[in-house]
Each structure stands twice: as structure tokens, then as C-alpha cells.
Amino acid sequence: MMRNLLFARALMGISLGFHIVYVAFGIGFPLLLMISELLALKTADGLYHRLARSWTRPMTVLFAIGAVSGTIISFELGVLWPRFMGFSGPMIGLPFWLEGFAFFIEAIFIGLYIYGGDRLSGRALLLCTVPVVIASAASAVFVISANGWMNSPAGFTLANGSAVDVGPWRALANKAWAHEALHGTLATYAASSFAIAGVYAFRLLKRGDGEKPLYRLGLSLSLAVGAIFVPLMFVTGDYAATWVAREQPAKLAAMETLPETTRGAPMVIGGGLDRTTNRVRYGLPVPGMLSLLAFHDPDARVLGLDAFPPALRPDANKVHPLFDLMVFSFFVMLVPSLWFWTARWRKKDVFSMRPLLALIVIASPFGLLAQEAGWMVTEFGRQPWIAYGVMNVSNGVTPRQVEWVLVLFVLVYAALTAGLLRLLLARTKNPPPGSSAKGAPREEDMR
């Protein structure tokens, strides 16, 4: 059984790790698209429309790959975790159904936008982007509800090991949903915008490129979105941490490597837990900071790992480094964002500042790293539960051998990723569907 559990968790981790990246762009691109089309309509500047049309290729490819990877995960849930799905299906089936409905709306309006470029007015194109933005965000919110249910099971009564009195809507609106959906969705916008900004910064670093006006605009617009959502990551992250402190104190203790229950608990930066001495080694403690952040009181009592039976303690040496990476990523993105917009405010030519552009390139993947790290903190920190306080992970896994499934799906994801990179990196002589030769809308389209 332990062998099956290891392979099943590895496969789900690989699948979701890839899927998170695909989905980040599937959610982030539509927002940038809508903003660009709105500015094209308001300013009558065809460069905004040209920028929006340049995103159609990567957006549609990533949307398609995200749909495939999401379908694979739905199969994995049934194959790898049949006991868990048998128990939780009546509760978490509703958000997955709603996510599918949002997906179809998104697909319809993406198609209208792409193939209606030469037939629809600028206002109609803008209106096509609005449902895509809403539906893509709704898809994330509904799926996150299922993960929220795993962290805070709701909408049923447990009787003799079975779920009775099931209320799917009550399950969907579980206690963890609000903070997970808010933080996760906003983090997706920050991650995708910074990743896109890095592409434009890299291209601007290459001298002699004839597309610099488009790249300047793309960098400015993506960093503008990033500048809005990166600070919101900190605010919503604090909201999420206070919920964890109340509802999942063992996870908080693992996140901050707190071995013993402490008043005025410190926040530890770096380091790790020495299991032989039960002490944190090589960490930098900030006195009272954990109590302040978790309970808004520097003298508050915070439960440590010693407050929980050994079998119910998450592994702090897995959770804490990932939590530190997530927080560190926030500051890595914040610094170039502040530098860029401060320099713009001072009317400097930021597009020729090579150190700044290089820093943006370096920072560009950290939003995606933060998303991956945050997801793993959520999952590792919930261990040993697959449904917190209700079902153990080992009780939800399939009893069958799954090594061949792991090998097969790793090959599938490798092929998907290789195909994705080939499509995204390939240069085409043909303009995106619905674009004129110069990439600008017709004059009447701007009216």
C-alpha cells in the first residue's frame, strides 16, 4: 500500500505541477487581452489591438493544453483515488460541473474573438473578451472550491464512516474556499503577467529588433497588471495565513518550523528542524513576528508541532522551505516592479535600462514558482489528511499497482510540453486569424 501511495502522490504532483503553469496563462492572458482591446477602443491606437492579436496564438495553445491536462487529472482522480472519490464525489462534484460549464463559455468566446477579428467592430471584440475573463477566473474559483473542501470538509454529516445529509452547495461554500480562491486567483494574474513581462524584457535586451514599439507596450502593460496584483498577493496571503492559524494550526507550525507551543512565537527565515534535538538550526528568528502575523498580537500563543500526535504532524522540513520560497518570490517580483514604475514616474527611458530589463527577466518565473510552492505548502501541510480530519491519504488511494500509469502519464506530459514549446517558439509568417497585414484594426473597427 505504501508503494501505491508513493506512486499515486508522485503522479498527481507531476500532473498538477504542469497543469498549474498551463492554467496560469489561460487565466492571465484573457485579462491582458481585455485591457489591451479596451485601450485600443479608447485611444484609437492600433498598436494596442496589434498587441492583443499577438497574444491569440499562445493563449489558444495554452488553453488547449490546459484543457487536455485538466482532463487527464480528472481521469487520475478516479484511477488513483477511487476510495476518496467514492466518499467525496457527492460533495465536490458540483464545483467540477460548474467549472466545466465555465470552460465551455470561455471556449465559445475565445473562438468568436479569434475568428471575428476582421468581421467584428472594436467594441464587439472587446465584449468578446469580457466573458473569457470572467469564465477563466470562474473556472479557477470553482476548482479551488474542491481543494478548499479537502482542507475544510463541509456539506455532509458523517455517520458510520459514510457521508449522509449531503448538501453540495454547502460543500462548495466551505470555510477554506474564500481565502484559497481569492489568493490563488490573484496570484495567477501576478504570475502570468510577470512571466509575460519577462519575455518582452528579454526581447528588448536583444539589440536591433524591429518590433521594439510592440515590446515596449507589452512590457508596460504586463508590468502594470503585475504592479496591481503583486501587492495583493501579500494582503490575501495574510488573510489566508490567519485562517490557517485558526483552522489548521499543525500546518502553521510546519510552515514556520515551530517545534514547541510558544507565546510571542518568532517567524523563522530559512533553517530546518533538527529531529534529534527538536530545535531549528540555521534559521533566522524574528521575535514575536509569527504571533503578530497569525493573531495580530505579538504575545499571542501559537501551537507548535508538540501540540499534535507525531502521526498527525506535517513534515516541517518539506513545508517550511516551500513557504519561504513563496514569500521570497513576492519580494523578487516586487523589487523590479517598484524600480520600473519609479523610473517611469521620473520620466526615465526604462526600455534602455539594461540592468532593469535583466532583473525583470530574472524575476519573471518567480510568480509561477510561488504558485507551485504555495500549492505544495497547502498539500504537504495538510498531511496526513486527504480530507482534513475526515479521511487519511492512505485510506483514499487505490489498492492496485499504478507504476505503469505513472510512466505512461509522464510520457504524455513530456510530449505535451515538447509540443507546446515547439508551437510557442515557432515563428510564423502568417498573422494571427482576424488580423490585417499590419496587425491593426480597420479604421471603422475603432469606432
User: What is the model's pLDDT at position 122?
Assistant: 79
pLDDT digits (tens, 9 = 90+) for 43-74: 888 888 888 888 888 888 888 888 877 887 88
Instruction: Report the C-alpha gap between 92 and 106 in whole angstroms.
Output: 22
Instruction: Report the C-alpha gap between 302 and 359 in whole angstroms.
Output: 38
Instruction: Report the C-alpha gap between 125 and 442 in whole angstroms.
Output: 12
173 phi and psi angles, rounded to 5 deg: -90, 45
Nearest to 291 by CA among 256, 254, 266: 266
Residues, the chain: 447
Instruction: Report the C-alpha gap between 107 and 87 in whole angstroms.
Output: 31
Give, for all 447 residues of the chain, the pLDDT tens digit.
566 777 778 888 888 888 888 888 888 889 999 999 899 888 888 888 888 888 888 888 888 888 877 887 887 887 788 888 888 888 888 888 898 888 889 889 988 888 877 777 878 888 888 999 999 999 889 989 988 999 999 888 888 777 788 888 998 989 989 888 888 889 999 999 999 999 899 888 886 554 688 888 999 999 999 889 988 888 888 888 889 888 899 999 899 888 888 888 888 888 888 888 888 888 888 888 888 888 888 888 989 898 899 888 898 899 999 999 998 998 999 999 999 999 888 888 888 888 999 999 999 999 999 999 988 998 898 888 888 888 888 887 777 766 677 777 778 777 777 777 776 666 444 445 444 434 444 444 444
User: What is the model's pLDDT at position 279?
Assistant: 86
User: What is the model's pLDDT at position 396?
Assistant: 78
Q: Please confirm whether the linkage preceding 309 is cis (ω < 30° from 0).
A: no
DSSP for 358-391? HHHHHHTTHHHHHHHHHHHHHHHHHTTEEETTTE
- Running DSSP on this structure, what letter comes out for residue 400? S
Instruction: Report the C-alpha gap between 194 and 52 in whole angstroms.
Output: 17
User: What is the model's pLDDT at position 3?
Assistant: 67
User: What is the model's pLDDT at position 426?
Assistant: 61
User: What is the model's pLDDT at position 206?
Assistant: 80
User: What is the model's pLDDT at position 34?
Assistant: 92
pLDDT digits (tens, 9 = 90+) for 88-99: 888 888 888 898
pTM of structure: 0.85
CA atoms within 13 A on the CB side of 420: 23
CB contact set of 216 (below 8 Å; sequence gap of 6+): 200, 204, 351
Helices 82-115 and 122-151 meet at what angle, rounded to 10?
A: 170
Instruction: Report the C-alpha gap between 15 and 22 in whole angstroms.
Output: 11
Instruction: Report the C-alpha gap between 418 and 435 in whole angstroms.
Output: 28
User: What is the model's pLDDT at position 358?
Assistant: 92
